[in-house]
Structure 1
């Protein structure tokens, strides 16, 4: 087998591979002979079909099958021979496929970069310091009560946090526009669901009231026709409803997994869950800062476009699943969720993956078994049958590998934090668990 390699640009390589004709032809003959033992053709006894007839009837089809397999096998042999690490699948261009002649093809692909970790000691990390206070627990319990509460009609003017049932008709230059009208629409005031000014305009209206709101669509609105457009909405309030929170009783406690112990046990478990959430949030924010420092220190690292494209597809599918996986087979996902929505985040994830792999090798790290166990136990503690969950993780290699990967990342973070400048910043529970600004922008 003859192999020549060319660097076309950056990480792209062009591999020209020549495979002797004998390798292909011999495999074709072998398969035809094997098939002849079972082929039934009119005029021939079973297993007695002449090779010439087999060649005429099946030779071309078998040859195409063999060519595909030989190209795949020889490509793998060639990259091993040339000590290459392909990133993604190659693009194959056939140069010679004729019977009796050597097989020749060109494979174009990207390779993984040579990752060299640079020293970046002394980077800054701000660590939130907070605690779960009684009022924090009370606030979360109030949220739970509202989640399980009911909406009741009231005979008063609508206020923020009320729900109104409304009819509305939107017009632009006196003409109704698409999507601008509805009947019996439920709207929680203060939810920010409508364009700026709409909900504020409904505040103070009572059941039976009508009002015309003169508003302007935002300049970044998704509809080209309505960007920055001056419009009017004629709004009729059908009813005003006020939230009545659920009572603090056994029924509410059971809905959140507390079957025994009453309110005292409910408050205890809520507090423990909040403390766990706080711990995870702080660790996540510290980890994110370390990861950002790793990426910033390796800004010049070139990464394969093929890996970025794969990661874009992963992020797009994750978003689709997050919103219910709706759409059907005919939906053009790339039009609905274009690549540029995910490219920047995909580049960071690919780069970080390459760098973490190199750091794990540099520090000679292996997933700590005790940390893996404690991580699984912590995740399982939120379930009613923790032991069953623990056993499930240890019996599922794919899920166990996911936890081990997380633990390895955490071990890299711990190692890098040894040389970081950590500044503790006291803050409230809510500030500590709030997503970082970068996370919000990416979301």
Structure 2
């Protein structure tokens, strides 16, 4: 088709609706009523080789090139020429433009601020978290430590250097103030992990590319000392097992719901959360078993968890028989039937004069120490008793007949020791696995 059929004057004068060809696929499209409301735009028409219509001819396509108000005749001809170049390369101009728009949209999306992505991440995941407090902790720690440094930075532009800037920010105004990683290592480690999760989420949403700069292994572990070296883990304060019989005698003399809950917790070597969340349907009185569902178990992220089955001694069953049945919870308040708070047993310890020396969780360590020092039960068996993860083959072995009997016997021996007369460690007769 001949080109250059239109002139700028003709283009300005066209008012009748229709298509006016300029040549080489370029058309002026006039729309409206032909009088007051008139619209003029540029159209590029072409046929795509290899794509046939029902009539057997190459498929015809139309592509808008913009309005006359934006693009002059000369500019429209240049835009049409660019489309013909794409056709000469075997590319579809419309599909090429879609790809370009997608790439531009992606680049624009990568400019989304980190804090917007973090808020979107929290909103998307909070329904799967155990409680609202977890979402609050995410929000507060990121607002305090991360947002002032990387909050407004495009999520696609967060680098290892910026993550380090978060972790190495000074805590305090003094010139020699320790860094966040040095002074509040546990919190800093959690913030690092949260930044890593947000950046992984952003990559899955095509908001950033490349490796995650907040990942510990292979990146930050080369730049920062391990958490354990900076701030060694402070274990829960535990009662020496030699003192346990005397403690249990004192505890049994106390007539309160929290006292019975604590006694049950010690006899079963359970976690506080497992006890206060326990419901009646989890108890098999005939089989003398308590089954803690996997969904309620605490454990290392990513590990496979199974239901935790706890053999119950006679005293533990008697406690469950004696506590008032106020709701489905085993240890429930009289007023509303709700379970004890996670602070109830700790407050009891404080009332008994152990507030500075013991934690409820520490009795699990007491149990482990007793198993190690005073019995010959295998370590894997005591690990299972406190719901720690053990290899699948080991767990399978201890689920079979004789091994199950030995595991029950271990808990019965523990209960017997808890109820024994106060004695020094040297007077304790070592128990033997049956």
Shorter-normalised TM range: under 0.3
Q: Which has the higher strand share?
A: 1
After TM superposition, the score normalised by the length of structure 1 is 0.20
Q: Considering only CA atoms, is the larger Rg found in Structure 1 or Structure 2? A: 2
